[in-house]
């Protein structure tokens, strides 16, 4: 019914746990995840900018902090959806979109509705900011699964998550960022002590 309600609803994202239902040594909420994504994206945007790209910082800021807002409606369900069909995945995206639409029409004052429709739409588009969001979002999956594997979580879900997210990152069309990630950061990741052999998993992916 207004911006106050919108601000209060942000608190809900502190209670939405990522990867719900799986055993994790450490839980992460969607609010904290959004902050980490905004940090990763800022770093890689800096690399791109230093290498001559033009960054629309307002757009990157909007995309990163809003990209998971729709999870206040049905939570974080991507992992089990991956086990289901693309058709189901699409149906769920559609449900989320419709709920977001309904939320903006019901809760946001008319004067701000166009801005919210713009900010809350899917951010992973073909712009450089959309690609940086994709990189940052996948990087947080890499770090979340890496942390579980380091501590000895034997749930194969986290190996899958690490493999899929890492593979997607390595194929992203952000040459300078991916180069830095692969040549510098991935080496540091592989050097860390880890209960489950993350180095071997990483080398296998790099070899593909």
| Contact string 112-131 vs a copy of itself (x = CB under 8 A) | x--x----------------
Per the DSSP assignment, residues forming a β-bridge with 17 are 29
Could you tell me the maximum CA-CA distance found in the chain, to the nearest angstrom? 54
Residue in 120, 189, 201, 202 binding a copy of itself, rule: CB under 8 A: 189
Rounded to 5°, the CA angle 71-7-90 comes to 20
Nearest to 163 by CA among 131, 132, 130, 196: 196
Q: Please report whether residue 206 would count as binding a copy of itself according to CB under 8 A.
A: no
Residue in 26, 110, 171, 208 binding a copy of itself, rule: CB under 8 A: 26
Residue in 54, 58, 110, 126 binding a copy of itself, rule: CB under 8 A: 58
Q: Please report whether residue 172 would count as binding a copy of itself according to CB under 8 A.
A: no
Could you give the 3-state DSSP secondary structure of residue 185? helix
Alpha-carbon 28 to chain mean position? 12
Per the DSSP assignment, residues forming a β-bridge with 29 are 17
Region binding a copy of itself by CB under 8 A among candidate stretches 122-130, 169-177, 187-195, 199-207: 187-195
Q: Please report whether residue 202 would count as binding a copy of itself according to CB under 8 A.
A: no
Q: Please report whether residue 207 would count as binding a copy of itself according to CB under 8 A.
A: no
**Residue numbers 132-171 binding a copy of itself by CB under 8 A:** 139, 143, 147, 150-154, 156
Residue in 52, 54, 98, 197 binding a copy of itself, rule: CB under 8 A: 98
Token pair for residue 65? 């902090």
Residue in 53, 92, 164, 170 binding a copy of itself, rule: CB under 8 A: 92
Q: Please report whether residue 25 would count as binding a copy of itself according to CB under 8 A.
A: yes
Q: How far, in Å, are 5, 18, 71 from residue 103 at the CA level?
A: 11, 22, 12
How far, in Å, CA of 203 to CA of 208, rounded?
9
Q: Please report whether residue 35 would count as binding a copy of itself according to CB under 8 A.
A: yes
């Amino acid at each position: 019914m207004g911006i106050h309600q919108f601000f209060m609803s942000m608190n809900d994202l502190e209670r939405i746990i990522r990867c719900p239902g799986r055993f994790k040594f450490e839980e992460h909420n969607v609010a904290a995840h959004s902050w980490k994504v905004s940090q990763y994206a800022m770093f890689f945007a800096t690399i791109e900018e230093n290498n001559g790209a033009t960054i629309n910082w307002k757009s990157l800021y909007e995309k990163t902090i809003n990209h998971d807002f729709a999870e206040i409606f049905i939570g974080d369900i991507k992992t089990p959806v991956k086990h289901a069909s693309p058709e189901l995945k699409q149906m769920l995206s559609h449900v989320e979109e419709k709920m977001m639409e309904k939320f903006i029409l019901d809760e946001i004052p008319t004067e701000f509705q166009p801005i919210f429709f713009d900010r809350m739409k899917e951010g992973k588009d073909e712009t450089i900011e959309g690609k940086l969001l994709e990189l940052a979002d996948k990087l947080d999956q890499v770090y979340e699964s890496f942390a579980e594997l380091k501590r000895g979580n034997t749930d194969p879900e986290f190996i899958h998550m690490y493999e899929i997210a890492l593979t997607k990152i390595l194929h992203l069309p952000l040459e300078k960022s991916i180069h830095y990630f692969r040549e510098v950061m991935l080496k540091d990741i592989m050097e860390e002590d880890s209960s489950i052999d993350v180095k071997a998993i990483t080398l296998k992916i790099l070899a593909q």
